[in-house]
Amino acid sequence: MSREERHLLADLFEKACGFVLREDLTFVAERRLAPRLEALGLRDFSAYHRFLRLDARGPDELETAIDLLVPHETYFFREPQQLEAFEAEVLPDVEARAQGSRRLAVWSAGCATGEEPYTLAMLLVDRPSLAGWELDVLGTDLSKKALTHARHAEFGPTALRATRPEQLSRYFEPLPHGRHRVKERYRAPVRFGLLNLLDQRAAALLPRFDVIFCRNVLIYFDPATRRRVVELFYERLAPGGCLLLGHSENLLSLSTRFEIVQLEGDLVYRRPGP
Amino acid sequence: MTWLEADAEAEGRYRALDALAPGPASVPRLVEALGDASWRVRRLAANRLAQLEPSAGVVQHLVSLLGRRGDTGARNAAASVLSQLGAAALPAVVQLLRHEDPDQRKFAADILGELGRPEAVDELISALADGDANVRVAAGEALGRIGGSDARRALEGLLRAADPLLRVCGLEGLARLRAPPPLPMLVPLLDDALTRPSAFRLLGQVPHPTAWRRAVLALRKPATRDAALVGFASCTPPLPGEVEAEIAVALKQAPDAVRWLEAALTSGDLERRRGALCLARALRTPSLAVAMARAAGPDGLAEYAAEALLALGLGGARALLDAGPALADLSGEARAVAGEALLALARPSLVDRLTALLRAGDQEWAELAARALGRTGAQSAIAPLTELFDDDALAVHAYRALVALAASWPQEVRAALEARVQGALLPHVVRAWAEVVGAGARPVLARALHDERDDVRAAAAEAAVFVLDAPALVRAGLMDESPRVRRAAARALASLSSADAAPLLSHALIDADPGVLALACQAAPLHPGADTSGRLEELSRHADASVALSALDALAALGPLPLELLLRALEHPGPEVVRRVFELGADQPGLLPRAEAALAHPRWEVRAAAARLLAVSGSPSSLECLEDALAREADEVARELLTAAASAVAARR
């Protein structure tokens, strides 16, 4: 793949979903897309770009290509300090505001293969103060393949690398070959949906959330896309609701609408409200 | 619950600053805001100031902020702005290097390092003798950022300093510049625990057997092997065979070396992973294969990891295929690396393992296994591949793999396909049958052309070129009611003889479907006697970009393109067409003004194509346009091409 071919493809991906195909990922992109070129009988990446742009099957193929290139790797109980802050400091505030409805809605945006929404469900379902509440954890991603995996709810050692033995036995059923399946009790409040965060019309269908998790997703976007996505989060948060980002991400120069709230164990962004 | 009260006042100040119109009038407010209590306000002010043309007064004011002891926020904000101002900040910051306060001298050295201006090197070299240790270290670090022969010599001088921090500073600076000192100067620093990691980092940059041997020796001792690992991360691969052999001997003598390497291969640290890949490649222990694939990580190490994994040979491929669920658990990058190795190392002895991978339930690995089976050249790969035709996603890979195997096993592949062409036909079975059987495939193709599924009819139309009476089958395909079948037939036109193709081509060039038209255009230059130029000219104005593009390409292949045609094509709304005009018309002086104008096109690829045209055809007067375009160009690739074009045009002046 020449530099110009990579740049042309990167442009398409970025416009479609905000994903930035960095130059240092050229080798990976070539290898991941090679079967597609073979399947389509195309001679090189220029022809592939032309196919994506001009062929009637281009939009479907673009979806396949993005699916192959956008990283889906994540794991259970990632960034435990932040999860502790969520339990100890964010949830009490959210619960206090939702006492009337006894309903809690959490969105895991860019959930990949589902580890994050299931982790959140595990934290919520067993929380005594939420007993009898209606819990709704939505995981969305733009990859159909990742969502299929997520709904399957079976995971291997890589996804479980930060899961402690007692968590493993409490939340999972063992399967052969070191794999584990999330127990039904923790699958129940989780639902999944296909969503490109840049698709404003589809995002408008989303309800208001008390908490939004979007960790290690914004890093794959360019600044303009990040701004759009952060605006979407603002719109979809209930007043007083919180946005939690990955530890290497922040809203600096992206949005001034959120309040920055320093917790003991983390920094979160809050939509102003009661 | 320890929510901090949201600072509404700070928010107000932030918004007010954000609303300021950019320009010189905003400078006093921005400078004032550098001392704001809110870090967000300070940050915004610093970013805004860095984008303005600074006056000497502003620079001096920023420098004075550096002296505000007790106001760390303002000092850091001022330093951040100064280090982004370039040459304008230089005199004042160099002056600051002589300030009586060591804190400010250190700030000055840090900022000079960030500025990266060679004019500051002499002053920084003088600062290496500063009375304050922090200033000396900051000056050394700055020299390591700026580089140049004087800076390099000064950093080498630091290697003899009494202060170990300065020695480390010298080593790190030289490592950053990739400028190792003479080996005798470096070797004593390998034995000092304080300087060891930096010294090994630099040692790895010395491309000499003596340096490598020092690193190999360090691998033998647990106390030094982590430092040696860093050294191997700096090596330019591949290492000579005898050095790899010495590494292997050293590591095999350490009982826990494999576990140590495995941990390094999967660590989050890029340098450790790179060093570990270099060593694992030398050790050639198959059990490390999965960890080596994982070492690819998300940070651009995939190609290096793939090369290292390939060095494990067949043993590595076996280990990957025996990894079972661990293989399914690999990230996208690791999959790319492991897949590359499996394709390159596919051999007959792997057929059983690849067949198991086909059936492991992971679609992506199944595709890879099908492709790899085709490369094994093994007769035993035929049967498992033949079973894949019922899987929509795998069938295409099975077809290509079987065609590849037919080069070695024609009768066996034919026999395996025979059963599949007896009953209901599938598209890739039809393709494979035609390619493997050739002329004898006629009855099956004829049957397929009347199949009720249009994908089967399309396969037959496209594969018709492998049988004797192809024109009749292609003609039938071109008359099909399904555009899919007509496109397949149009694709086949390229492989017919010109005598057979000519009448069919004329027919295809008036099809209603843009896909058929584009494919027919692509076939046209292969049959120059067919007199298609008039129709191709019409199609070069087609609203569908794919058709217009294909027609232009065809016309260019048939002969020189007239200027009027190119100018007309420039009116096409598709940027691909416009770009192609500049690629095809570099010999047309009449396109020069249009290329110059296209340097302002909204699409970077069009600007890039225009720049490329001007590089080979631009007149001296184009230089101004190119320089203007360069000044406003934000796209990296387009900038490179504009720079090259400007140089080329300037050289012709």
Q: If pLDDT is split at 50, 70 and 90, which confidence band does B374 have? A: very high
User: What is the average pLDDT across A121-131?
Assistant: 94
Q: Which of B329, B371, B605 sits opposite A158 (nearest CB)?
A: B329
pLDDT tens string B119-164: 999 999 999 888 888 899 899 999 999 989 999 999 999 999 888 8
**Annotation marks residue A141 as catalytic:** yes
pLDDT band at B388 (very low <50, low <70, confident <90, very high): very high
Summarize pLDDT for B434-480 with one digit per residue, the tens.
999 998 999 999 999 999 999 999 999 999 989 878 888 999 999 99
Would you place residue A274 in the very low, low, confident or very high pLDDT band (cuts 50, 70, 90)?
low
* Best to test chain A binding among B368, B546, B583 (most A CBs inside 10 Å): B546
Nearest chain B CA: its distance from A200 CA (Å): 24
Q: Which residues in A lie closer than 8 A to residue B336 (C-beta atoms)?
A: 27-28, 31-32
DSSP secondary structure string for all residues of B580-599 = HHHHH-TT-GGGHHHHHHHT
Cβ atoms B339, B368 nearer than 8 A: yes
Tens of pLDDT along B525-558?
999 887 888 999 999 999 999 999 999 999 999 9
Predicted structure pTM score: 0.81
Question: For A71, which residue in chain B has the nearest alpha carbon?
Answer: B332
The pLDDT value recorded for residue B4 is 41
A252 pLDDT tier (thresholds 50, 70, 90): low
Cβ–Cβ gap A24/B306 under 8 Å: no
User: What letter would DSSP give residue B267?
Assistant: S
| pLDDT of B289 strictly over 50 | yes
Nearest to B15 among A89, A178, A256 (CB): A256
Query: Residue A239, preceding bond cis, omega within 30 degrees?
Result: no
How confident is the model over B158-191, as pLDDT tens digits? 999 888 888 999 999 999 999 999 999 999 999 8
Nearest CB to B331 within list A3, A71, A93: A71
pLDDT digits (tens, 9 = 90+) for B81-109: 888 888 888 888 889 889 888 888 998 99
Contact yes or no for A7 and B637 at CB 8 A: yes
Q: Is the pLDDT of residue B3 over 70?
A: no
Three-state SS string over chain A comes to CCHHHHHHHHHHHHHHHCECCCHHHHHHHHHHHHHHHHHHCCCCHHHHHHHHHHCCCHHHHHHHHHHHHCCCCCCCCCCHHHHHHHHHHHHHHHHHHCCCCCEEEEEEECCCCCHHHHHHHHHHHCCHHHCCCEEEEEEEECCHHHHHHHHHCEECCCCCCCCCHHHHHHHEEECHHHCEEECHHHHCCEEEEECCCCCHHHHCCCCCEEEEEECCCHHHECHHHHHHHHHHHHHHEEEEEEEEECCCCCCCCCCCCCEEEECCCCEEEECCCC
Would you call B298 and A55 a contact, using CB atoms and an 8 Å cutoff?
no
Does the beta-carbon distance from B332 to A28 stay under 8 Å? yes
Q: Which residue of B5, B9, B11, B17 is the best one to mutate when testing the A interface, meaning the one whose CB has the most A CBs within 10 A?
A: B11
Q: Which of B302, B324, B336 sits opposite A177 (nearest CB)?
A: B324
Min Cα separation B327/chain A (Å)? 10
CB-based contact A179 B306, cutoff 8 Å: no
Length reported for chain A: 274
- pLDDT above 70 coverage of chain B, percent: 98
Rounded Cα gap, residues A203 and A207, in angstroms: 9
Which stretch of A250-264, B230-244, B331-345, B467-481 has the lowest confidence by average pLDDT?
A: A250-264
Q: Do the beta carbons of residue B429 and residue B422 sit within 8 Å?
A: no
pLDDT(B572) > 90 = yes
**B549 with A68: Cβ contact below 8 A:** no
Q: pLDDT band for A256, please (50, 70, 90 cuts).
A: low
What pLDDT is stored for residue B350 in this prediction? 97
Confidence of residue B5 (pLDDT cuts 50, 70, 90): very low
- Across the interface, whether the CB atoms of B332 and A68 are under 8 A apart is answered yes
- Chain B residue with minimum CA distance to A250: B40
Checking if the pLDDT of A83 tops 50, the result is yes
Contact A101, A70 (CB under 8 A): no
The highest-confidence range among B33-42, B226-235, B377-386, by mean pLDDT, is B377-386
Residue/partner pairs of A183-190 with CB below 8 Å, 24 or more apart: A185/A125, A186/A118, A186/A121, A186/A122, A186/A125, A187/A118, A187/A121, A187/A153, A188/A121, A188/A125, A189/A121, A189/A124, A189/A125, A189/A135, A189/A136, A189/A137, A190/A114, A190/A117, A190/A118, A190/A121, A190/A137, A190/A138, A190/A139
Which of B6, B332, B546 faces A71 most closely, judged by CB atoms?
B332
| Residue of higher predicted confidence among A49 and B89 | A49
Q: How many CA atoms lie within 13 A of A150 on its CB side?
A: 32
With a cut of 90, say whether residue A212 has pLDDT above it. yes
| pLDDT, tens digit, 9 for 90 and up, residues B624-633 | 899 999 989 9
Taking an 8 Å cut-off on Cβ atoms, the answer to whether A53 and B2 are in contact is no
pLDDT of residue A74: 85
Contact B325 A55 (CB under 8 A): no
- Of A189-198, B65-74, B258-267, B577-586, least confident by mean pLDDT is B65-74
Nearest to B4 among A178, A256, A262 (CB): A262
DSSP B3: P
SS3 track for B456-505: HHHHHHHHHHHCCCHHHHHHHHHCCCCHHHHHHHHHHHHHCCHHHHHHHH
Q: What mean pLDDT is reported for chain A? A: 89
pLDDT of amino acid B42: 81
pLDDT value at A138 more than 50:
yes
Which ipTM was obtained for this model? Answer: 0.78
pLDDT confidence tier of residue A211, bands split at 50, 70 and 90: very high
Question: Which chain A residues contact residue B358 at CB under 8 A?
Answer: none
pLDDT at B66 over 60: yes
Using a pLDDT cut of 70, give the percent of chain A over it.
Answer: 97
| Ordered strands of the A172-174 beta sheet | A154-155, A180-182, A172-174
Residue type, B623: L
Contacts of B300 in chain A (CB under 8 A): 22, 24-25
Say whether A136 is catalytic: no
Which of residues A79 and B279 earns the better pLDDT score?
B279
Which of the residues A6, A78, A136, A141 is marked catalytic? A141
Q: In chain B, what is the straight-line distance between the N-terminal and C-terminal CA atoms, in Å?
A: 72
- Please name the residues in contact with B334: beta carbons below 8 A apart, sequence gap of 6 or more: B293, B294, B296
Residue B647: band (very low, low, confident or very high) from pLDDT cuts 50, 70, 90? very high
Residue B127 to chain A, least CA–CA distance (Å):
35
Contact A1, A203 (CB under 8 A): no
Binary contact (A54, B324; C-beta < 8 A): no
- pLDDT value, residue A20: 85
Smallest CA–CA distance, residue A204 to chain B, in Å, is 27
Residues of chain B contacting residue A22, judged by C-beta atoms under 8 Å apart: 300
Q: For residue B7, what pLDDT is reported?
A: 57
* Paired tokens of B136: 């000396």
Predicted confidence (pLDDT) per residue in B411-441, tens digit: 999 999 999 999 899 999 999 999 999 989 9
Amino acid letter for position A216: N
**What pLDDT is attached to residue A253?**
63
Instruction: Suggest the residue from B14, B277, B303, B486 to mutate for an interface test with chain A (most A CBs closer than 10 A).
Output: B303
* Pair A81, A244: CB distance under 8 Å: no
Residue with the larger pLDDT of the pair B33 and A49:
A49
